[in-house]
Structure 1
Amino acid sequence: MQKKKRILLKIGSNTLTKETNNISRGKVEDIANQIAKLKDSYEFIIVSSGAIAVAKQFVKLESKQSAVFVKQALASIGQPHLIRIYQEIFREYGLLTSQCLLSYSDFERQESKTNIVNTINILVNNNYIPIINENDTVATDEIKFGDNDKLAALTGTLLEVDLLIIATNTNGIYTKESIKNNTPITIKEVTNFENLKNEVVNSKSSHGSGGMQSKITAVALAKKANIETWIVNGLEDNFITNACENKVPFTKVK
């Protein structure tokens, strides 16, 4: 029996909300539908943002404290709702899910890293899809900077995935010149990573906190571990299956 390829799929808040102020159940269905179609050939691990976006749909917190603490409180409120949405919709497609909350400090201790690998491997081997998020209630790094891109790359490296897919709101990375001319052209395949860094225009999306620069940081980490990375437009339907079949423009970094 052929070994399944392991994909780590990173989904940002902008993809999950389809650039609105609400989590799109339709987008979660789209993701579940694609995973269900691909599950015989691939095993999936998901790193998902969205806890804060979920909470903002129905909660307005008043506080005189730092905005970071408000975001941490929103993440605490929103995380159970986010997982419930995944569980409900994925179950309809015959998919089982589990929740894993990680912090960057977990990647600094060998014992923690071993525990992460053992736990997630057991989940995946028993057909559970781990839904991983930053433990925002105790850590501020992701809220301030990375929008889970770095967490996805670190997790992918630890779990020795075959492919890292970063879902964003563009058709991959565009050339700097084409953005200046308002005619975005996707860099389809990257052979020189240093050249790619020079092409990146640092802009941030409406819900996301990382922007394209944090994706380049994630790509660098994955590349160091010999993991191929795809940056695809998660707003489009069937973005994973279409990328697998080369039907859409996206950036591939080998």
Structure 2
Amino acid sequence: MLKKKRILLKIGSNTLTKETDNISRGKIEDIANQIAKLKDTCEFIIVSSGAIAVAKQFVKLESKQSAIFVKQALASIGQPHLIRIYQEIFREYGLLSSQCLLSYSDFEKEESKTNIVNTINVLVNNSYIPIINENDTVATDEIKFGDNDKLAALTASLLNVDLLIIATNTNGIYTKDSINSSSPKTIENVTNIDSLKHEIVNSKSSHGSGGMESKIESALLAKKANIETWIVNGLEDNFITKAFDNKVQFTKIK
């Protein structure tokens, strides 16, 4: 049997909501449809944000506590709903899925790292797609991953994946000059990742806590593990298969 290409797909809140205030079931269907088409040649591990966005759809919490505790409570409410949506939709496409919650401290202990690798390998080898999120309920501002970009890179490195795909709301990374002139131009191929840092325009999405800077930092972590990173517009339908066929513009960091 041919060895399948192992892909870690990171999906941010802005992609999952399609830049609205609600989780888009249609976007999760789009992801499931693509994975189903590619399952004979690729195996997927997903790092997904969205727990807080799901909770905000139907819960408004009142609290005298600081904002971080409210976010942690929202994550606790939203995470089961997020996984339920994934499982329901993936099942319609003949895909099995599971939940994994990780924290920054898990990547600092050798025993924890070994457990992560062994558990996820068992899941993937039995045709389950692990859906990973940060354990927001116990994380604080000081140890958060930044909309899961860093979590995706650390997990990709630990699992020795072949490709890290970061789905965002732009056609990859744009040159700073093109953004300033209001005609965004994608940087398609990158070999010197340090040069990208000069192209960053700091901005964060409406739902996510990351930004292009955190995506470049993630790509740098992946590069140290010899993993290629693609930054792709996840709002586009069939964004994974189109990227494979070079039918969309995106940034490829080799």
- Interval of TM-score (by shorter of Structure 1 and Structure 2): over 0.9
The answer on whether the counterparts of 1:144 and 1:209 sit within 8 Å (CA) in structure 2 is no
1:125 corresponds to which letter in structure 2?
A: N
Which runs of structure 2 are paired with 1:17-28 in the superposition (5 Å)?
17-28=17-28
User: How far apart, CA to CA, are the structure 1 residues paired with 2:154 and 2:143?
Assistant: 17
The answer on whether the counterparts of 1:203 and 1:211 sit within 8 Å (CA) in structure 2 is yes
Which runs of structure 2 are paired with 1:1-254 in the superposition (5 Å)?
1-141=1-141, 146-254=146-254
Structure 2 residue ranges without an equivalent (≥5): none
User: How far apart, CA to CA, are the structure 1 residues paired with 2:178 and 2:37?
Assistant: 35
**Number of paired residues?**
254
User: How far apart, CA to CA, are the structure 1 residues paired with 2:188 and 2:115?
Assistant: 37
Structure 1 residue ranges without an equivalent (≥5): none
**How far has the Cα of 1:145 moved from its partner?**
5.8
The answer on whether the counterparts of 1:10 and 1:166 sit within 8 Å (CA) in structure 2 is yes
The answer on whether the counterparts of 2:46 and 2:130 sit within 8 Å (CA) in structure 1 is yes
Give TM-score scaled by structure 2 length: 0.99
User: How far apart, CA to CA, are the structure 2 residues paired with 1:159 and 1:214?
Assistant: 20
**How far has the Cα of 1:38 moved from its partner?**
0.4
**How far has the Cα of 1:141 moved from its partner?**
4.2
**How far has the Cα of 1:98 moved from its partner?**
0.2
Q: Which consecutive aligned stretches of 4+ in structure 1 deviate over 4 angstroms post-superposition? A: 141-145
2:198 corresponds to which letter in structure 1?
A: N
User: How far apart, CA to CA, are the structure 2 residues paired with 1:142 and 1:204?
Assistant: 18
1:206 corresponds to which letter in structure 2?
A: S
The answer on whether the counterparts of 2:52 and 2:78 sit within 8 Å (CA) in structure 1 is yes
User: How far apart, CA to CA, are the structure 1 residues paired with 2:141 and 2:98?
Assistant: 23
1:30 corresponds to which letter in structure 2?
A: D
**How far has the Cα of 1:142 moved from its partner?**
8.4
User: How far apart, CA to CA, are the structure 1 residues paired with 2:104 and 2:230?
Assistant: 23
The answer on whether the counterparts of 1:123 and 1:130 sit within 8 Å (CA) in structure 2 is yes
Deviations 1:180-233 (A, max 9, x none): 000000000001111111111111011011111110110110001000000000
Task: Give me the identity figure in percent.
Answer: 85
Report SS of the residue matched to 1:146.
coil
The answer on whether the counterparts of 1:143 and 1:209 sit within 8 Å (CA) in structure 2 is no
Report SS of the residue matched to 1:10.
strand
Report SS of the residue matched to 2:208.
coil
User: How far apart, CA to CA, are the structure 1 residues paired with 2:68 and 2:165?
Assistant: 28
**How far has the Cα of 1:14 moved from its partner?**
0.2
Classify 1:156/1:131 alpha carbon distance in 2 versus 1 (closer, same or farther; 3 Å).
Answer: same
User: How far apart, CA to CA, are the structure 1 residues paired with 2:208 and 2:144?
Assistant: 10
Report SS of the residue matched to 1:44.
strand
User: How far apart, CA to CA, are the structure 1 residues paired with 2:29 and 2:54?
Assistant: 16
User: How far apart, CA to CA, are the structure 1 residues paired with 2:182 and 2:145?
Assistant: 27
The answer on whether the counterparts of 1:134 and 1:142 sit within 8 Å (CA) in structure 2 is no
User: How far apart, CA to CA, are the structure 1 residues paired with 2:129 and 2:194?
Assistant: 34
Give TM-score scaled by structure 1 length: 0.99
**How far has the Cα of 1:143 moved from its partner?**
8.6
User: How far apart, CA to CA, are the structure 2 residues paired with 1:139 and 1:180?
Assistant: 36
